[in-house]
């Protein structure tokens, strides 16, 4: 049972590292587009979703529960995801000229 708990923690850590890498790529794309086009992309607005996602992950990590069932943690993850989607849609619209 201890081995399985270690594997579960490693997989959770791995998935959040991937989320962090994807956030960094999105930020770099927004930053590059801002420099290349001269338009205001507000790439710093990506900090709020990143902080909300990190806070949700830390909430579950501190509570020691899987990523389901705590309203505060769920709300942090949900709001971070929604804001991240809105940022991505806005960036797509800026880049495609809609």
**pLDDT mean for each 10 residues of the chain (98 residues):** 82 88 94 91 90 90 77 92 94 89
pLDDT of residue 67: 67
pLDDT of residue 18: 93
pLDDT tens, position by position, 67-91? 677 889 899 999 999 999 999 999 9
pLDDT of residue 64: 74
Domains in the chain, number? 1
Range of the domain at 86: 2-96
**Closest-CA residue to 12 (of 51, 50, 49, 65):** 65
């Amino acid at each position: 049972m201890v081995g399985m708990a270690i594997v579960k923690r490693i997989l959770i850590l791995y998935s959040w590292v991937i989320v962090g890498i994807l956030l960094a790529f999105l930020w770099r794309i927004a930053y590059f587009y801002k420099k290349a086009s001269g338009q205001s992309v507000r790439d710093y607005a990506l900090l709020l979703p990143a902080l909300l996602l990190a806070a949700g992950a830390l909430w579950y990590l501190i509570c020691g529960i899987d990523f389901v069932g705590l309203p505060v943690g769920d709300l942090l993850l949900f709001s971070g995801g929604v804001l991240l989607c809105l940022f991505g849609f806005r960036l797509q619209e800026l880049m495609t000229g809609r």
